Amino acid sequence: MNIKTINMLVLCCLFPLSLLAGQQDLEMLLKELDTVIECKDSYILPKEKELSELRLRLKNTKNNRQKYELCDKLFTAYLHYQADSALSYVERKQELLPFLDEPVLEQELIINRAEVMGVMGMYSWAEQLLSQVKPGILTPELLGYYYRTMRANYGWFADYLVHKELENMYQEKAHIYRDSIMLTTKPGIDHDIVAAEKMMVEGEIDKSLDMLHRLSENNPDLRQQAFINYILAEAYGLKGDVDNQIHRLALTAIADLKFGTREYASLQKLAYLLYDRGDVDRAYNYLNCSMEDAVACNARLRFSEVTEFFPIVDKAYKLKVERGRTIRYGLLFFASFLSLVLIVCVWWLYRWNKKLSLMRLNLSATNEQLRLVNRELAQTGKVKEAYIAHYLELCVAYLDKLEAYRRSLAKLAMASRIDDLFKAIKSEQFIKDERKDFYHNFDKSFLELFPNFIASFNDLLMEDERVHPKSNELLTTELRIFALIRLGVTDSNAIAHFLGYSLATVYNYRSRMKNRAKGNKENFEQEVMNL
């Protein structure tokens, strides 16, 4: 296999991939355009702000020359945004002419009116007005403006006419004025754009595309970029390259909308191409947008172009919506049928599983009771085991202490220290120390078993009545009493005997704590037992 064959195979493999990538890029661009249309009102705000600032400057200006220039700026800003307002500022300029003493400006106003009439679709009036212009007295700048207006008006005339011979005649006239524009335009990007457009009209499409691509790559002016993209779209259309035509029209439409332009052709032409491709939703949306802007601008040609094609797209859109509705109804019917079948199945299963469900519920309840009993037994067993171990330790320790105490007394007796012996026997210090050690061991053992007892117990009390041990103690007297209750020792006599308190003391503490409970006082001790 030679190198040429290998290269061909590689190209054949890469072509589908590049085609897929191009389609994805085009879809992303169209989604961007969709977003711009949704946010169209936000792009109008800067335009309105610009117009408002110009109107305010005009209102505050006393100099007639400055007034004229501001009216001219307002005319330009309104021309493709709101043609009626643009025409009103031409009349304001007319009112200022007597104060300026510049006869050539009368010619500028004629061209201004003709340009507005062209935007409004009054091409015959525009033609009549332009016939009144005296090219011989125009400045080079005004002469270029005159030629551009003539070219644009004849181009619009050609687009508006349905008679092929008349259309060709006006296209030829428009083409003649391209030559005039090139003669009066200084070398630069504007001159090159017209030259590229002339090449395209004369059939030199590839040369036109090369020049336009070069201009697009080297031109930072976004408005000129939009115009270049529009001419590129026309050139690609003549070549039959629909993908690139759609791409360039989408770029132009995005720029038109972002600049706040309402008189444009890019969006409706894009709608026609997308309709031919079956994208009815976008075609319908784009034509709606174009129609709204044409009405707002009073651009009769654009409105006429849209309304001529809109019924076809509208019919296709409604047909698609109706088909979608029919499909939805069919799916809804099918879903309803399936739902009915499912309901019958569920009812049948319910009847057969009803007894099983009851048995499961009973079994679950029984199991839950068993789990609770087992948990209580386990907890009780744990408490008993822990306290048995502590009890045995205390017993052993107490026996050791008694043995040590007995030896100390025996030593006193053997030494015939009778007074010291009687003094030791009469002293209660030993009992006090042992009781103190007993309380400490009890508190320590209990808190090891129930580390959260104090916090949980306080949660049962009113906030300002809560009990907090001092830094040198583990449990207070109140907490110690209710610790025994938590362990199941509820008899006051047993509690009093166990702790060495009087029965009255135990009664008082239990009654006092009940009164400090934030919940049901009668259930307070039961809640303590459940901690």
Return the structure tokens found at 105: 């400006």
Is it the case that residue 3 has pLDDT exceeding 70? no
Kindly state whether residue 336 falls inside one of the protein's structural domains: no
Kindly state whether residue 447 falls inside one of the protein's structural domains: yes
Q: Report the C-alpha gap between 528 and 521 in whole angstroms.
A: 11
Is it the case that residue 531 has pLDDT exceeding 80? no
Domains identified in the chain, total number: 1
- The reported pLDDT for the residue numbered 368 is 76
Q: Report the C-alpha gap between 121 and 112 in whole angstroms.
A: 14
- Lowest-pLDDT choice from 14-18, 65-69, 71-75, 398-402: 14-18
Q: Report the C-alpha gap between 156 and 152 in whole angstroms.
A: 6
| Confidence grade of residue 513 (pLDDT, cut at 50, 70, 90) | confident
User: Quick check: 298 and 84 in contact, CB under 8 A?
Assistant: yes
Is it the case that residue 89 has pLDDT exceeding 90? yes
- 461: helix, coil or strand? strand
Average pLDDT over residues 488-496: 86
DSSP 39: T
Q: Name the residue with higher pLDDT: 307 or 43.
A: 43
The closest alpha carbon to 247, from 236, 258, 262, belongs to 236
Give the Cα-Cα-Cα angle 238, 239, 241 (nearest 5 degrees): 110
Kindly state whether residue 418 falls inside one of the protein's structural domains: no
- 362: helix, coil or strand? helix
Kindly state whether residue 455 falls inside one of the protein's structural domains: yes
Handedness of CA 29, 31, 37, 38 (dihedral sign): negative
The overall average pLDDT reported for the chain is 82
Domain span including residue 466: 428-529
Q: Report the C-alpha gap between 72 and 84 in whole angstroms.
A: 14
- The reported pLDDT for the residue numbered 278 is 85
DSSP 186: P
- The reported pLDDT for the residue numbered 11 is 46
Average pLDDT over residues 197-220: 87
Q: Return all residues near 199 (Cβ < 8 A) that are at least 6 apart.
A: 205, 207, 208, 211
User: Quick check: 99 and 73 in contact, CB under 8 A?
Assistant: no
Is it the case that residue 22 has pLDDT exceeding 50? yes
User: Quick check: 77 and 58 in contact, CB under 8 A?
Assistant: no
Kindly state whether residue 404 falls inside one of the protein's structural domains: no
- Lowest-pLDDT choice from 265-274, 347-356, 487-496: 347-356
- List residues bridging with 517 in a β-sheet: 461
Kindly state whether residue 521 falls inside one of the protein's structural domains: yes
Integer angstrom CA distances of residue 309 from 158, 160, 272, 314: 18, 14, 8, 9
Is it the case that residue 322 has pLDDT exceeding 60? yes
Give the Cα-Cα-Cα angle 66, 72, 75 (nearest 5 degrees): 145
User: What percent of the chain has a predicted confidence (pLDDT) above 90?
Assistant: 25
Q: Name the residue with higher pLDDT: 55 or 422.
A: 55
- The reported pLDDT for the residue numbered 207 is 93
Residue with tokens 């017209």: 194
Q: What digits encode the pLDDT tens for the residues 447-469?
A: 888 888 888 888 888 888 888 88
Is it the case that residue 140 has pLDDT exceeding 50? yes
* pTM, to two decimals: 0.57
Q: Return all residues near 121 (Cβ < 8 A) that are at least 6 apart.
A: 156, 160, 299, 300, 301, 303, 304
Give the Cα-Cα-Cα angle 524, 527, 531 (nearest 5 degrees): 140
The closest alpha carbon to 104, from 135, 73, 69, 70, belongs to 135
User: Quick check: 236 and 245 in contact, CB under 8 A?
Assistant: yes
- 265: helix, coil or strand? coil
Kindly state whether residue 498 falls inside one of the protein's structural domains: yes
Q: Report the C-alpha gap between 112 and 79 in whole angstroms.
A: 9
Q: Report the C-alpha gap between 407 and 412 in whole angstroms.
A: 9
Residue with tokens 């590049």: 18
User: How many Cα atoms are found within 13 Å in the side-chain-facing hemisphere of 384?
Assistant: 7
